[in-house]
Amino acid sequence: MAPVRTIRYREIAERLRERVASGEFVGGRLLPSEAELSAQYDASRVTVRRALELLRDDGLLDARQGFGWFAAAVPVRQSLGHLGTIEAQMAESGLRPQRRVLEFAFLSAEPAVRHVLACDQVLRVRRLNLADGAPFALVTVWCPASLGERLSRADVERTPFYELLDVPLGGATQTIGADAASADDARLLEIPAGSPVLCCQRITKDVDGQAVLMSVHVFPAHRTEFVVDLAQAEPSIAPSGLRLVE
């Protein structure tokens, strides 16, 4: 009896399954494009897509418009009900948080930052946060130079700002909107340029109401969800705090 010939798309699906199992594609990590996979496996895009869809049916892969295919992962749910750090949110979701500092510099405050922090000189830190080794957020933080002068690059690489500032914190105002990834942000986050991202600007104040931190967080839209508990029903279908952007 002649050996049973394995259907081509199943062969490709099995090879991709092995690559996911080996950790080459951790949760949330983008796979090569369908065109690249077609070249790698010398198969048509129709065949490759069928293999990908098979793994999606098995719960190993997922796809989003504007992103492409990626290893399936439960999005990190970040609660808006309390003041916390990205690392704490990831740890609660069972992910291993890491941070990579891209910039650590004392410089003159940009006009928007000067307006918020009421100072001329600031410490600006730009970092990449990773979850289980995959890019999760691109974060830029500004604090008054007077508060950051005793900090080092090593400090901000291993410890959240909230634990480094020698001032009691009172709370924060957070504004979240949707945007398209710039070429530079996309390169660092390992997503296609122009793909959807969630942008969060946070202004953290001390107990006297003075702003001590300003930060901008950029999240790939497929990797995070923001959650808020609405304790009381209001006579409106719109969430509280909704603001139209002109």
Give the C-alpha separation, 87 to 108, whole Å: 29
In DSSP terms, which residues pair with 178 in a beta bridge? 198
Length of the chain: 246
pLDDT, one tens digit per residue, over 155-188 is: 999 888 888 988 898 888 989 898 988 999 999 9
Angle, helices 8-21/34-41, rounded to nearest 10 degrees: 110
Confidence of residue 107 (pLDDT cuts 50, 70, 90): very high
Domains of the chain: 8-71 (1.10.10.10), 76-227 (3.40.1410.10)
Q: Is the pLDDT of residue 242 over 60?
A: no
Of 36, 30, 25, whose CA–CA distance to 67 is shortest? 30
- The answer to whether 212 and 144 are in contact (CB under 8 A) is yes
DSSP state of 166: S
Q: Is the pLDDT of residue 137 over 80?
A: yes
Mean pLDDT of the chain: 84
Please tell me the predicted confidence (pLDDT) of residue 244: 46
Tell me the CA distances in angstroms from 106 to 153, 160, 182, 202, 217, one per residue in order. 11, 18, 25, 20, 20
Q: Cβ of 75: how many Cβ atoms within 10 Å?
A: 16
Helix (H, G, I), strand (E, B) or coil at 179: strand
pLDDT, one tens digit per residue, over 49-88 is: 999 999 998 888 888 777 788 888 766 666 666 666 777 7
Give the C-alpha separation, 86 to 71, whole Å: 21
Tokens of 15: 């090879």
